[in-house]
Structure formats: C-alpha cells, structure tokens
C-alpha cells in the first residue's frame, strides 16, 4: 500500500489555466456571481494565470528575549496576474488601464495613445477556472478592479508574444460614496466561490 500524502479527491486537482474576463464595473457592481460572458468578455488565449491574496501582518512581541504573542492583519490585497497571447487593440487597452468594455471591437484596427496616462479605469474581473473533470469550476470575482501593469511586448523569433496584465482588486463595498454596493460589505475586495 502506498504511503505519504495520497489524493483524497481527484476532481479537486487543478491543471491548466483560468479563463479571464474583463468588463464594466459600475453596471455589474450589485452582482456577486459570474455575469461576464465567455464569448464577449474573455481576453482570449493566455500564457499564464496566477491569483494571489496577500496579507501583511503586525507581530506583537514581548518579554526578554522577545517572544511572539500575536499577529494582527495590517492590510490585505488581491490580484490576478495574466499574460495574454492575443495582441489586440482591446487587450492592449486593458493593459493600458483603459475601460475597453466598449469600443475596440476590431482585432486589427484601433489606436492607443501613449504619453497621456491617467488613473486606470475601474473594471470588473472574473476568472473562471474549470477543473479537468469539465464540470466543477472555481470562480474569482473582483467587482471593482484596476489594471496596474502597462504594455509589454517581447517579440521572439520562434515564440508568440504575451502581454502581461496585473489586475488588482479595490474596495467595492457600500462605504464608497460612488462605485460600491452593499452586497460586497462582508467581502470588499471580491470573492472566490465554487460551482458544480
């Protein structure tokens, strides 16, 4: 009989990439489930997808020598890092921090101005990861996010370019005077949930 850590449920093992969808934040702010569609809002083929939830802690110590008494959270951040293989006006507009949910409909026609950067637009990010069984899914929603990356195109002789996007979650609860909603009061940065 095998020893060591054994698989308890093969349907929970992840393999492959999540599909990332970007869309308007304001029009969808009151919805806590996936609302962006695969066909319309997917940013297409990706080279990588990485979700990170970071928490910085303060450590309380006392005594001599100092020993740890407790940890307290100072700040929390969540972000999704992806690299899109499809170099379109819309995907580069997202990377530039623009709200590309309207316009940018052509794959080979458009314009992105350089040298006029302003604060990135608030967008909704949904990452839908389908498990290898093809049935179960893990869903990540940032209801009010900003793309904080920029455009980077590394052209290679024998590989496709992949432009990175760093999508950072922002507070979306009712404490905001504009842009938030009470449905996010207990989860101001968004949520992760599973569907079968």
End-to-end CA distance of the chain: 32
The CA distances from residue 59 to 68, 69, 72, 159, 190, in Å, are 7, 8, 7, 46, 26
pLDDT band at 150, cuts 50/70/90? Answer: confident
Cβ density class 47-57: b for 16+ within 10 Å, e for less: eebebeeeeee
Partners of residue 80 on adjacent β-strands: 51, 167
Domain layout of the chain by residue ranges: 10-195
Close Cβ partners of 174 (under 8 Å, ≥ 6 residues apart):
180, 181, 182, 184, 185
Q: Which of 105, 88, 108 is nearest to 163 (CA)?
A: 88
Q: How far is CA 59 from the centre of its chain?
A: 29
Q: Where are the alpha helices (DSSP H) in 71-160?
A: 89-95
For residues 195 and 114, give the distance between their C-alpha atoms in angstroms, rounded to a whole number. 41
pLDDT of 149 above 90: no
Structure token pair of residue 54 = 């970071």
pLDDT per position as a tens digit, 85-128: 999 999 999 999 999 988 898 999 999 999 988 999 999 999 99
pTM: 0.93
Angle at CA of residue 188, ends 48 and 60, nearest 5°? 90
Tokens standing for 77? Answer: 């951040």
Least confident range of 5-9, 28-32, 78-82, 182-186: 5-9
Under the banding of pLDDT at 50, 70 and 90, the label for residue 33 is: very high
Give the integer Cα–Cα distance in Å for 35 and 23. 9
Q: Are the CB atoms for 93 and 104 separated by under 8 Å?
A: yes
* Alpha carbon distance 37, 17 (integer Å): 17
């Amino acid at each position: 009989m095998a020893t060591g850590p054994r698989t308890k449920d093969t349907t929970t093992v992840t393999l492959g990439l999540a599909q990332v969808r970007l869309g308007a934040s304001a029009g969808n702010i009151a919805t806590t489930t996936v609302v962006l569609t695969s066909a319309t809002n997917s940013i297409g083929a990706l080279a990588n997808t990485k979700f990170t939830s970071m928490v910085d802690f303060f450590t309380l110590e006392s005594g001599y020598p100092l020993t740890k008494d407790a940890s307290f959270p100072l700040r929390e951040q969540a972000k999704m890092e992806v690299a899109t293989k499809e170099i379109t006006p819309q995907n580069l507009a997202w990377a530039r921090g623009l709200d590309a949910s309207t316009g940018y409909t052509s794959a080979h026609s458009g314009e992105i101005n350089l040298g006029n950067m302003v604060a990135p637009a608030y967008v909704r990010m949904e990452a839908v990861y389908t498990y290898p069984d093809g049935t179960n899914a893990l869903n990540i929603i940032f209801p009010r996010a900003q793309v904080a990356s920029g455009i980077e195109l590394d052209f290679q002789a024998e590989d496709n370019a992949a432009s990175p996007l760093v999508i950072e979650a922002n507070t979306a609860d009712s404490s905001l005077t504009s842009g938030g909603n009470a449905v996010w009061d207990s989860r101001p940065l968004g949520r992760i949930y599973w569907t079968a």
